[in-house]
């Protein structure tokens, strides 16, 4: 009965006390009720719809050295690639013919793509596909650069905060990166008018329940349109190669909590979730997620965008995906 009360309160008030959130995060005791409630909330707001976003991973060059990431600049084994504007437009053409109406351009922080080059890419997509949303996910930039992207026709931006507490952020990133700047970017993107997505890795090294609580509180403060979470998965050529990966259980529990906290949010069931479990993305959708992002990148580069080991969707089948409506 207590379990149901707690979940009912989260469903109706979209909030709980710190100690209640910690209880939900740290035990599986509430999972059955939690998943049912999250699924119900998703259906009330979105019916059976699952939104499809075409992901174009257009560069794996990165000037950053995040300790967890396979495309960090310090990974000298990574085979690097960049897509040209024409390559990207071909991905969009294929996606459009398959019915995709949102293109997500994601990449490392690659200085090759100056503001002029990036804006030319965005405005070409905007001109060819006026009915489509253009989402960028290219990291931390200045406000001026974000404004240029927006004027060129981009309307959404994904930038996970990664972790909301400074002490933890410093354990995951080198000294030249700061949580303060990442958060500043997110608030600037919102002010400019982007629909903003943020999020974090579940089970990243050194993450404790208090960190996750801080992530939930930060998301409340930011109030993003999209929330992307996925399990941390180790990569063999990073300093964290021996760290344990995050779990399916905690990731889907957090998807369900986020659905109840943010009933209208767009929450993807991520590739990382599909990588740690063959049914991961389906389980994410059943626990409240409502977005999937099949890979539209050219087949020959898919296996090179290796953020973590054994990443799925590297084969011919990816654009078609394995999407079933729930
Ligand atoms: N450069 C952009 C940025 O910083 O937002 C976008 C690319 S970045 C590789 C996209 C996301 O991949 C990051 O926000 C991070 O959460 C996720 N990621 C990186 N390494 C990962 C890993 N080992 N396991 C799971 N997710 C990872």
Please work out whether the CB of residue 108 comes within 6 Å of at least one atom of ligand 1.
yes
Q: Does 233 sit in the ligand 1 pocket, CB within 6 Å? A: yes
Angle of CA points 255, 259, 261, to nearest 5°: 115
Q: What is the pLDDT of residue 314?
A: 55
Residue 118 maps to a domain: yes
Query: Which residues, at least 6 apart from 129, have a Cβ–Cβ distance to it below 8 Å?
Result: 92, 96, 103
Residue 11 lies in a domain: no
Centroid of ligand 1 to alpha carbon of 7 (angstroms):
31
Ligand 1 contact, 137 CB (< 6 A): yes
Where b means 16+ CB within 10 Å and e means fewer, 23-48 reads bbbeeeebbebbbebbbebbeeeeee
The tally of domains found in the chain comes to 1
226 Cα: distance to centroid of ligand 1 (angstroms): 16
Instruction: Print the domain residue range for 212.
Output: 17-302
Quote the ligand 1 centre to 41 CA distance (angstroms). 28
* Residue 85, domain member (yes or no): yes
CA-to-CA separations, 243 to 185, 200, 201, in angstroms, rounded:
29, 17, 14
pTM, to two decimals: 0.96
29 alpha carbon – ligand 1 mean position (Å):
30
Question: Given strand 226-231, what is the order of strands in its sheet?
Answer: 54-59, 102-107, 133-137, 156-158, 195-202, 226-231
Closest residue CA from atom 14 of ligand 1: 160
Q: Name 69's Cβ contacts closer than 8 Å, sequence gap at least 6.
A: 62, 235, 238, 307
Those residues with Cβ within 8 angstroms of residue 7's Cβ, 6 or more apart along the chain or in another chain: 30, 33, 34, 37, 260
Q: For tokens 């049912």, name the residue.
A: 36
pLDDT of residue 312: 87
Q: Has residue 7 been placed in a domain? A: no
pLDDT single digits (tens) 181-234? 999 999 999 999 999 999 999 999 999 999 999 999 999 999 999 999 999 999
Which atom of ligand 1 lies nearest, measured to the CA of 69?
20
Decide: 110 in ligand 1 pocket, CB within 6 A: no
Distance 3 CA to ligand 1 centre (A): 34
pLDDT at 156: 98
Ligand 1: centre distance to CA 301 (Å): 17
Whether 57 lines ligand 1, by a CB cut-off of 6 Å, is no
Q: How far apart are CA 226 and CA 33, in angstroms?
A: 24
Q: Which residues of the chain have pLDDT under 70?
A: 1, 313-326
Residue 216 forms part of a structural domain:
yes
Evaluate whether residue 168 is within a structural domain. yes
Dist CA 50 CA 48 (whole Å): 7
Taking Cα atoms as reference points, which of 215, 222, 230 lies closest to residue 164? 215
Is the residue at 10 inside a domain?
no
Q: Which residues pair with 199 in a beta bridge?
A: 228
**Cα 126 to averaged position of ligand 1 atoms, centre (Å):** 26
CA of 95 to the centre of ligand 1 (A): 23
pLDDT at residue 4, as a whole number: 81
DSSP state of 246: P
Say yes or no: CB of residue 141 within 6 Å of ligand 1: no
- Give me the CATH number covering residue 98: 3.20.20.70
- Going from the Cα of 220 to the center of ligand 1, the distance in angstroms, rounded, reads 21
**How high is the pLDDT of residue 319?**
57
Residue 3 lies in a domain: no
Helix 18-26 vs helix 2-13: angle between axes, to the nearest 10 degrees? 120
Query: Which ligand 1 atom is at minimum distance from the Cα of 160?
Result: 14
Best residue among 156, 169, 176, 201 to mutate for probing ligand 1, ranked by most atoms within 8 Å of CB: 201
Residue nearest to atom 26 of ligand 1 (CA): 232
- The finding on whether 106 has its CB within 6 A of some atom of ligand 1 is yes
């Amino acid at each position: 009965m207590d379990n149901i009360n707690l979940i009912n309160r989260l469903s109706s008030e979209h909030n709980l006390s710190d100690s209640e959130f910690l209880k939900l995060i740290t035990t599986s005791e509430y999972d059955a009720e939690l998943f049912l409630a999250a699924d119900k909330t998703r259906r009330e707001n979105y019916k059976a719809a699952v939104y499809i976003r075409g992901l174009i991973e257009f560069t794996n060059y990165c000037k950053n050295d995040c300790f967890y990431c396979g495309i960090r600049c310090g990974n000298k084994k990574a085979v690097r690639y960049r897509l040209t504007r024409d390559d990207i437009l071909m991905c969009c053409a294929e996606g459009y013919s398959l019915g995709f109406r949102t293109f997500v351009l994601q990449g490392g922080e690659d200085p090759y793509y100056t503001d002029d080059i990036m804006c030319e890419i965005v405005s070409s997509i905007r001109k060819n596909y006026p009915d489509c949303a253009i989402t960028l996910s290219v990291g931390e930039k200045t406000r001026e650069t974000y404004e240029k992207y927006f004027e060129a026709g981009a309307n959404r931006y994904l930038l996970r905060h990664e972790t909301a507490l400074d002490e933890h952020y410093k354990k995951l990133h080198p000294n030249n990166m700061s949580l303060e700047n990442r958060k500043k970017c997110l608030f600037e993107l919102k002010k400019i008018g982007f629909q903003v997505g943020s999020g974090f890795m579940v089970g990243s090294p050194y993450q404790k329940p208090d960190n996750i609580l801080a992530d939930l509180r930060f998301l409340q403060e930011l109030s993003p349109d999209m929330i992307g979470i996925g399990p941390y998965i180790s990569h063999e050529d990073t300093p964290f190669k021996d760290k344990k990966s995050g779990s399916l259980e905690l990731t889907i529990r957090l998807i369900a909590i986020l659905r109840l906290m943010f009933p209208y949010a767009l929450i993807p069931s991520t590739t990382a979730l599909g990588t740690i479990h063959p049914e991961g993305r389906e389980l994410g959708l059943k626990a409240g997620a409502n977005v999937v992002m099949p890979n539209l990148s050219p087949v020959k580069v898919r296996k090179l965008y290796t953020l973590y080991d054994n990443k799925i969707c590297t084969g011919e089948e990816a654009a078609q995906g394995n999407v079933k409506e729930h």
